Homo-oligomer: A and B are copies of this chain.
Amino acid sequence: VSIGAGFVVIAGPCAVESREQVRRTAAAVKHAGAHMLRGGAYKPRSSPYSFQGLGREGLVYLREAGRETGLPTVSEVMEPTQVAHMADEVDMLQVGARNMQNFPLLSALGEIDKPVLLKRGMMASIEELLLAAEYIVSKGNKQVVLCERGIRTFETATRSTLDLSAVVVLKERTHLPVIVDPSHAAGEARWIAPLAKAALACGADGIMVEVHPDPQNALCDAKQALTPAGFEELMEQLDRLAGACAARETVTSGPSDAGHADVLWQPVGW
């Protein structure tokens, strides 16, 4: 799998809930054509009384499901002391929106040799996202993938406001690949397909979406999870669209504008 050289789809449950749940999801998304498997083991929840994830046990289940299906895995890391063991368990480490400016975490991720998926903070400017990437890259790890996942605005109809313009601006300012997470932005499963297609059409390098075998009983983000059937339908729609976008214009890109000399593009992959 290479991110930055084709449209990549990352799918899986918000949280790993059990061996069985992640296994079933992995099989389903693999079948439908996903390229990577996501699943949270450490969950940053607004309330201390919400489900906080299975921790190391969750990572084991995720790795097993990834191996069974041949899908590389991605999972969220929440603090510097988790970096070492997560780098052993997963193929790409994710920095969540709430940690985009957790600088000790970013620095620690700059010292490993695994790709990092850096999500934009809910109120982070494009400039700040690039500077956060620079924390990782300047420490030596050049394998950074950026992710637009919606920003916080006055509009409450959607969970966040997906800022697809950011994809366009980022593709101009940096060589790093840029993917889109429509699930967290929309907050409603039925709005994900049109936004995923829009992400493809505006030049994103991929999407990350939440899929759950039984959304109604999901332990987190139940409303925004696609069913396996819904995900399959999305993949078909994306396939049709991808053809029309195939002759994609080469994006003119240069170094970004705030002295981020290191944020140079190279395909991130395995």
8 Å CB contact of A123 from B121, B165, B168: B121
Judge whether A135 is part of the interface by a CB distance below 8 angstroms: yes
Q: B-facing mask of A167-181, CB < 8 A → 1, else 0?
A: 111001000000000
CA of A195 to CA of B199, assembled, Å = 9
| Chain B proximity of A94: nearest CB distance (Å) | 15
A169 to chain B, nearest CB (A): 5
A164–B151 Cα distance when bound, in Å, is 13
Of B98, B107, B157, the residue contacting A169 (CB under 8 A) is B157
- A80 contacts across to B, CB distance below 8 A: 79, 81
Within 8 Å CB of A247, what residues of B? 240
Roughly how many angstroms separate A169 CA and B194 CA in the complex, as a whole number? Answer: 10
Interface residues of A in 130-175 (CB under 8 A from B): 131-132, 134-135, 138-139, 151-158, 161-169, 172
Q: Within the assembled complex, what's the spacing in Å between the Cα atoms of A247 and B247? A: 21
Chain A 186-226, CB within 8 Å of chain B: the 1/0 string? 10001100110111111100000000000000000000000
Q: Is A183 part of the contact surface with B, judged by Cβ < 8 Å?
A: no
Interface size class of A (residues with CB under 8 A): 35 or more
A191 CB contact (under 8 Å) in B81, B121, B165: B165
Contacts of A78 in B (CB 8 A): 103-104
- Which residues does chain B contribute within 8 Å of A132, judged by CB atoms? 46
Confirm or deny: A84 has a beta carbon within 8 angstroms of a beta carbon on chain B: no
Is A270 located at the chain interface by the 8 A CB criterion? no
Set of chain B residues within 8 Å of A244, measured between Cβ atoms: 240-241, 243-244
Distance, CA A270 to CA B126, complexed state (A):
43
Q: Separation in Å of the A47 CB from the closest CB of chain B?
A: 5
Copies of this chain per assembly: 4
Return the chain B residue nearest A161 by Cβ. Answer: B163
Asked whether A168 lies within 8 Å of B195 as measured between CB atoms, the reply is yes
Contact of A127 among B127, B128, B157 (CB under 8 A): B157
Do the beta carbons of B151 and A155 come within 8 Å of each other? yes
Chain B residue numbers with a CB within 8 Å of A102 are: 79, 98-99, 102
Least CB distance from A234 to B in Å reads 11
With A156-B125, A169-B191 as given contacts, are A79 and B104 in contact (CB-CB < 8 Å)?
A: yes
Q: Which of B125, B134, B153, B194 contacts A201 (CB 8 A)?
A: B194
Inside 8 A of A162's CB, which chain B residues have their CB? 163-165
Q: Are A195 and B165 in contact (CB under 8 A)?
A: yes
Interface contact A125-B194, CB-CB below 8 Å: no
List of 7 A-B pairs having minimum Cβ-Cβ separation, nearest first: A123-B123, A201-B201, A198-B198, A244-B244, A198-B202, A98-B101, A194-B202
